[in-house]
Chains A and B, each alone.
Chain A
Amino acid sequence: MKLSLGPLLYYWSREDTLAFYEAALGWPVDIVYLGETVCSRRHLLRLPDWIDLAEQFTAAGKQAVLASQTLIESESDLKALRKVVADERFLVEANEWGAVRLLAEAKRPFVAGPTLNAYNPDTLALLAELGAVRWVPPVEMPRDMIAAMPIPEGMQTELFAYGRLPLAFSARCFTARHYNLQKDDCQFRCIDHPDGLVLASREGEDFLCINGIQTQSARVMSLAHRLDELHAANVSVLRLSPQSRHTEKIVALFRALLDGSHTAAETPAKLAPFLPAQPCDGYWLGEAGMAYSGLSTQ
């Protein structure tokens, strides 16, 4: 089983972003997803910067993947997408079907991202036929459904295994809305919230997390304690989503788990100090995503 560092979902300063990836060059991950997938207005790193990072990760012996924008709205979004697809040195993660079209047309292999909504064998087979070499199930897809999917030959399953869950995308920027700003004049306020902006119920229960046009879970999905089940469901890659602090420690704990240095049962307690919020694992069991059952009783 391999580890991947998912695309950075937040907006950090250029300095912080570059420092994060410079450190990540030495982390024990096998795959790194690079690029802006959430908001096309974010610009502190441009495509040449991401490509530069991709080159560095490749040189460091890791697989670099350029992740495409999830919500395409304008012609300039498409222009950016075409540039990503055109660089044949790097694998691309397609996060909507326009990217799939362009990649298939260029006869390029790709990673089928979680927002392509591959919920059934027919759609997965279609993606394989179009060139997908790996697929990331929708984050809500339960264990039993993933285990029941016949995986086409040559395709691997990568699962979102750690981080605040990306739950929804909108044309509206909820961070700008919070500051009574319009999206076109958002002043990039999301940069002040390096792990998103928590939205709580009026009873003070942390519920969701606002990240620009993306809405995430407030809780942190964590499946480290279910390693046996991940193996049983033929998961080949565990995706760890970057957070502003402690990502290095989280990567190290997952790596130690895969190496057998500690057990799955021991992992939640070891991870706990580094989680920005309470954990959840409900989706994996086919329950409400925010639920947390803790250790498997199997």
Chain B
Amino acid sequence: MPLLELICPAGSLPALKAAVDHGADGVYLGLKDNTNARNFAGLNFDEKSLKEGIRYAQGKGRKVLMALNTYPQPATLPRWHKAVDTAAELGVNAIILADPGLMGYAVKTHPGLRLHLSVQGSATSYEAVNFYRERFGIQRAVLPRVLSLPQVENVVDNTDVEIELFGFGGLCVMVEGRCLLSSYACGDSPNTFGACSPGHAVRWEQTATGMETRLNGVLIDRYADHEKAGYPTLCKGRFEVQGETYYALEEPTSLNSLEMLPEMARMGIAAVKIEGRQRSPAYVAQVTRVWRAAIDSVKRAPEQFKALPAWMAELAKVSEGSMNTLGAYYRPWK
């Protein structure tokens, strides 16, 4: 079983090459439509760039994982099936799925294709993970960012499925796959549309009281002149609760679990995922470089591992709101 594979985001061919060149063991990517959870304009792969990406990554011994992690709907199911077929034909190393119905199709049509359970599948217990294992033979599960490390360990100890954890990047405060805030505000959810707080619903407006960001008309945040305005991801806005205005759900912050690498190594975590398919190739290069060095260091000598200040500074530069959190891995965050 692999240990701490570094899985990096590829929102484009240049980002894929950046990840591979800077030490990713694998990249994950999606097609240019709503079959994956980063359905943003200008991102992702068509068949031509996918072929080139696979050639580039696999030519250097790295893996390509294709995310088909939204939930197919009755009228458009054939599009998801075709995407699974394309992944199999082009020879990706695995597909990352959330929908059990789609897993059934993949197993039946392409029995040799390796399946990973997406974070969008919302599996937080070994009973859930083992369901997908028994039924569809999944080989890896990506856990939602809601469990503390001891809870993660309990999953690892009770399943044969490889466990992949998020290591760094934008932080969903909700259980992935169980969050409909975006569709409540603007009609499109990650589950069916493949995007949260999608660009078409976003408005930025400079007003007398500051820069305002809106999602389908709902004021998500208002920034004073000295504040840096952020993208209006709706769980990271400032709202009013009982007369108090604050980040009621979560601050604009990024997950950074780098200091927990020795614990993850001890538990036998198979892979660490970096979030950010919507980010630039420069981000991918920078984050991949730091995490490659950190993982190599923990594998060499876990007892001596230290999260070097230079690494942390480098990561802080590319964090959302320049802030980091350990998220749910650290229990008091909850």
Contact = CB atoms under 8 A, between A and B. Distances in A.
Contacts of A149: 74
A97 B123 contact: yes
A290 B185 contact: yes
Interface string B98-137: 1111101100000000000000011111111011101000
Contacts of A139: 180
A125 interface: yes
Contacts of A78: 125, 127
A107 interface: no
Interface string A156-181: 00000000010111111110011000
A15 interface: no
A148 interface: yes
Given A215-B174, A288-B183, A199 B99 contact: no
A171 B100 contact: no
A267 interface: no
A121 to B, nearest CB: 6
A208 B222 CA distance: 18
A23 to B, nearest CB: 29
Interface string A112-132: 000101011111111000000
Contacts of A121: 74, 77, 101
A184 interface: yes
Given A120-B77, A122-B105, A174-B248, A102 B183 contact: no
Nearest to B70: A119
Interface stretch (B40-48, B186-194, B265-273): B186-194
B328 A172 contact: yes
Interface residues of B, number: 69
B130 A101 contact: yes
A199 B333 CA distance: 20
Given A123-B99, A149-B74, A174-B249, A140 B183 contact: yes
A241 interface: no
B49 interface: no
B240 interface: yes
B151 interface: yes
Interface stretch (A42-50, A257-265, A279-287): A279-287
A200 B240 contact: yes
B169 to A, nearest CB: 17
B74 A140 contact: no
B316 interface: no
B28 interface: no
Contacts of A138: 180, 191
Contact of B187 (A77, A102, A288): A288
A262 B216 CA distance: 36
B241 interface: yes
B127 A217 contact: no
B334 A171 contact: yes
Interface in A77-125: 77-78, 81, 96-102, 115, 117, 119-125
A31 interface: no
A204 B240 contact: yes
A288 B191 contact: no
Contacts of B125: 72-73, 77-78, 96, 98
B74 A172 contact: no
Contacts of B332: 182, 184
Contacts of B132: 97
Given A120-B72, A289-B184, A126 B100 contact: yes
B83 interface: no
A274 interface: no
Interface of A: 70-75, 77-78, 81, 96-102, 115, 117, 119-126, 138-140, 145, 148-149, 165, 167-174, 177-178, 182-184, 197-205, 207-208, 210, 215, 217, 282-283, 286-290
Interface of B: 71-75, 77, 98-102, 104-105, 121-128, 130-132, 134, 145-148, 151, 154, 173-175, 177-181, 183-187, 189, 191-192, 216, 218-222, 235, 238-242, 244-245, 248-250, 328, 331-334
19 contacts: A72-B124, A73-B147, A73-B151, A96-B128, A115-B122, A115-B178, A122-B101, A123-B101, A125-B101, A184-B331, A197-B242, A199-B240, A201-B239, A203-B219, A207-B185, A207-B239, A283-B183, A288-B186, A289-B183
Given A101-B131, A210-B248, 11 more contacts: A74-B154, A78-B125, A97-B100, A97-B127, A125-B101, A145-B74, A148-B75, A167-B180, A167-B181, A200-B239, A207-B218
